[in-house]
Amino acid sequence: MSDARLGLVFAIISSIGLGLAIAVGRLAFEGGTDGLTIAMTRCWFGAVLVAIYLKARGTSLFMPKAFRIHAVILGLLMVQMTWGNVTSVAYIPVGLAALLFFVYPPLVAVFVAVLDRRPPGLVKVLAVGTAFAGLAVMLGVRFESLDWRGVALGLGAGIACAMNVVWVSRKNTGIVDPMVVVFWMSIVAGTALTVGVILNGGWTVPKTTGGWIGLWGVVLLQGASIPLYFAAIARGGPEHIAVLNNLQPVASIAAAWVLFSEVLTIERVLGAAMVLGGILLMQLQDRTRQPQTEQKATRD
């Protein structure tokens, strides 16, 4: 199998795995554990898994001094990404939590436009506007029935993810192996979350079998899927992989329907379609623009 096809396989598996992890997190909460425990365990497990992979590949774990402060910042953003994403399902439906987190692609487009001080173009403006309008539709209808804590955690995780993506793309630029960055992000996040767990009274052990299944389900799914996602980008290219990443919220919604009989309302289905449609439109435009940019560079 070629590297490109292997990258697509990795992308599909990782996107579905990350989507399933959000749904499985509900089992952990219903089984008596808490978000800090889940997030801390997941970060340390991920760090060990990536370290084993890097050592097997013969890659050094060394982080250049100039990039260490960036690793700390990325790790702190990872705290919110991991803890907020998983914990949001304790307060709001799984499908809504997944879609709130997936606000990060349009936010990346907004952040990049602001940093570059360059208008994103009509198509991208329409795409971002559609995605955020969809978010408003999902949250604006019967908002009083939603727990604001779940909404804040889900959105906060998406914002942190967007900041993380933009920060890595602007500050790393090939200086450090992406998997080494993931390792040190996980170390920083795991340390911060361990402090949080201690201050919160210690590790909250699940009280039921379902709780243990949920806890380790999240840890294994996220811990294995994130390295696979980076491996997919290295083999298949970011443009192709980004489109397949849209499977993530679809997997969450499907799993929530199977596990918890959770069905989205008509309004939330409409909002979800607008969010995913806006994201897909942005990605298709980026894929169309890239060959034009390369042709221009070749002529120059």
Interval 20-44 mean pLDDT: 92
Q: Return phi, psi of residue 191, to 5°.
A: -65, -45
Taking Cα atoms as reference points, which of 109, 96, 104, 228 lies closest to residue 164? Answer: 104
Q: What is the pLDDT of residues 122-176, one digit of tens each?
A: 777 787 778 777 767 766 655 556 788 998 999 999 899 888 878 877 765 567 7
Q: Are 78 and 250 in contact (CB under 8 A)?
A: no
**How many Å is the maximal CA-CA distance in the chain?**
65
Query: Sign of dihedral through CA atoms 281, 282, 287, 290?
Result: positive
Q: Return phi, psi of residue 141, to 5°.
A: -90, 125
Among 82-91, 159-168, 265-274, the range with the most confident prediction by mean pLDDT is 82-91
Percent of the residues in the chain that have a pLDDT greater than 70, as a whole number = 83
Alpha-carbon span 71 to 143, nearest angstrom:
37
Q: What is the pLDDT of residue 234?
A: 65
pLDDT at 33 over 80: yes
Q: What is the pLDDT of residue 297?
A: 44
With bands split at pLDDT 50, 70 and 90, how would you rate the model's confidence at 188? very high
Q: What is the pLDDT of residue 208?
A: 95
Q: What is the pLDDT of residues 206-260, one digit of tens each?
A: 999 999 999 999 999 988 887 787 777 666 655 556 666 777 888 888 888 888 8
Q: By mean pLDDT, which of 169-173, 194-198, 289-293 is the weakest?
A: 289-293
Q: What is the pLDDT of residue 298?
A: 45
Q: What is the pLDDT of residue 159?
A: 92
Taken as a whole, the chain contains a residue count of 300
